[in-house]
Amino acid sequence: MTVLESMAPPTGGRFGDFGGRYVPESLVPACAALETAFREAWADATFHERLAELRSVYAGRPTALTPATTLSADLGITLMLKREDLAHTGSHKINNVLGQALLAQRMGKTRLIAETGAGQHGVATATAAALFGMRATIYMGERDMARQRLNVFRMELLGAEVIPVTAGSRTLKDATNEAMRGWVAAVEEAHFCLGSAAGPHPYPWLVRQFQRVIGEEARAQAAVQPDVVVACVGGGSNAAGTFAGFVDTRARLVGVEAAGGAAMTHGRPGIVHGYRSMLLQDEQGQILEAESISAGLDYPGIGPEHAHLGALGRAEYVTVTDDEAVAALGRLARAEGIICALESAHAVAWVLRAAGTPELPAGSTVLLTLSGRGDKDMATLAGVTE
């Protein structure tokens, strides 16, 4: 399969060797119905119009493309920032959620179920549910709830029910299991609004399609086409959406994982949460807990399209430590007046580290997606820096 084909609607839900639909029989018809509905919607001009309208009048799109003037001068590169931190609710998650909510409405669903790690996807889902007059049930690991109290409060304010997940590591991985269980029990009325380019087919594809607006906007906005395109990777949705705009160019695609959640770098193929991809797992095949300061990257898997792009060599995946991310967040804030999310700071950290080395030669033009804003992380950072 060529790279371009790999970006097309996946046959049988596969990106090369990855993807698939490894779900309980109870969910198969729902996944199939979702796939059909999405194919129909995606072929329907009215759907695209409504989505475009929501994006612009509600979510604040297009988001800006900001030249990082000071950092560019300091690093000897040309760095452009795609500003998903400016999107409504504070991250790229809203792009996906608005698309899925429109789809859910089209399918006659009255309720959205979602998992959340950092809480950004939960807030985005609660937001879309409020906007569409739907119920929202958000599953969130207890540990993440403690780390991201602000977002829990926001979800509740938006009228969502936030269900604490006490199983396992009490983070995103466990919240995902629990959300899928919740979906099994409510599959007729509820749409599972998955938050990343992961999960069973059609999610990885569908989520990337809803996120490709990032890459497509950036490509149209950039005065100079980038040599390198960088984004952080948790489940992989902001990266997939960004890469989608550049996969048919000569730009290098770089996904930055948290060192403690680096499925591409430290994982092996496996199956969890309904899809086959690279996974952090032990010798026995038990899924490992990721360990990252950033709740949104604290996930042992990665979307199957990334596993495929990695296998093809079309994209590279690198890792950044907690300390590097924290330092990068501060440096970006002081240099450009932008406080990004800890997740996004991983992408920044790689650029800071690589610029001027053979990894990222001086003179390069770099497009970096700032996936979200940092307000949610201030408490965590205050804890680290004090």
Partner 1 sequence: MKRLYPYLTGGITEDWTDYLLAYQEAGADAIEIGLPFSDPMLDGTTIQQASDRALRRGTTVDAILADLAAVRDRISVPLFAMTYANLVFRDGPEVFCRRLAEAGVSGLIVPDVPVDEADGLSAAAEAAGVDLVLLAAPVTPPERLAEIAARSRGFVYAVSVLGTTGERDELAGTAAPLAARIKAVTDLPVLIGFGISRPEHATAAARAGDGVVVASALMRRVLDGATPGELLDDVAALRAAVDQADQEVPADHAHAEVSGDRG
Where along the sequence are the contacts to partner 1 (CB under 8 A)?
12, 20-26, 28-30, 167-168, 173-174, 177, 180-181, 184-188, 269-274, 276, 279, 281, 284-287
Phi, psi of 20 (to 5 degrees): 90, -175
- Scan residues 200-239 and list those touching ligand PLP (CB under 6 A): 232-239
382 Cβ contact partners less than 8 Å away, ≥ 6 residues apart: none
Residue 336 is a catalytic residue: no
One-character DSSP codes across 285-318: SPBPPP--SSGGG--SB--HHHHHHHHHTSEEEE
CA atoms within 13 A on the CB side of 320: 33
Measured at the CA of 254, the angle between CA 195 and CA 177, to 5 degrees, comes to 25
Q: Residue 310: which of ligand PLP, partner 1, its own copies, none does it interact with, CB under 5 to 8 A by kind?
A: none
Residue 216 is a catalytic residue: no
Residue 291 is a catalytic residue: no
Q: Residue 154: which of its own copies, partner 1, ligand PLP, none does it interact with, CB under 5 to 8 A by kind?
A: its own copies
Q: Residue 184: which of its own copies, partner 1, ligand PLP, none does it interact with, CB under 5 to 8 A by kind?
A: partner 1
Question: Pick the catalytic residue: 6, 72, 82, 93?
Answer: 93
Contacts with ligand PLP by CB under 6 A: the residue count is: 21
Q: Residue 63: which of partner 1, ligand PLP, its own copies, none does it interact with, CB under 5 to 8 A by kind?
A: its own copies
Cβ-based neighbour number of residue 221 at 10 Å: 15
Among 152, 325, 343, 352, binds ligand PLP (CB under 6 A): 343
Strands (E) in the chain, as ranges, are: 14-15, 18-19, 65-67, 78-83, 111-116, 135-141, 161-165, 190-192, 228-232, 252-258, 268-272, 275-279, 315-320, 365-370
Give least dist CB 367 to its own copies, A: 14
- Scan residues 64-123 and list those touching ligand PLP (CB under 6 A): 91, 117-118, 120-121
Q: What does the alpha-carbon distance between residue 116 and residue 114 come to, in Å, rounded to a whole number?
A: 7
Give least dist CB 352 to partner 1, A: 35
252 Cβ contact partners less than 8 Å away, ≥ 6 residues apart: 227, 228, 229, 316
Q: Residue 148: which of ligand PLP, its own copies, partner 1, none does it interact with, CB under 5 to 8 A by kind?
A: none
Q: Would you tell me which residues interact with ligand PLP (CB under 6 A)?
A: 91, 117-118, 120-121, 196, 232-239, 296-297, 341, 343-344, 371-372
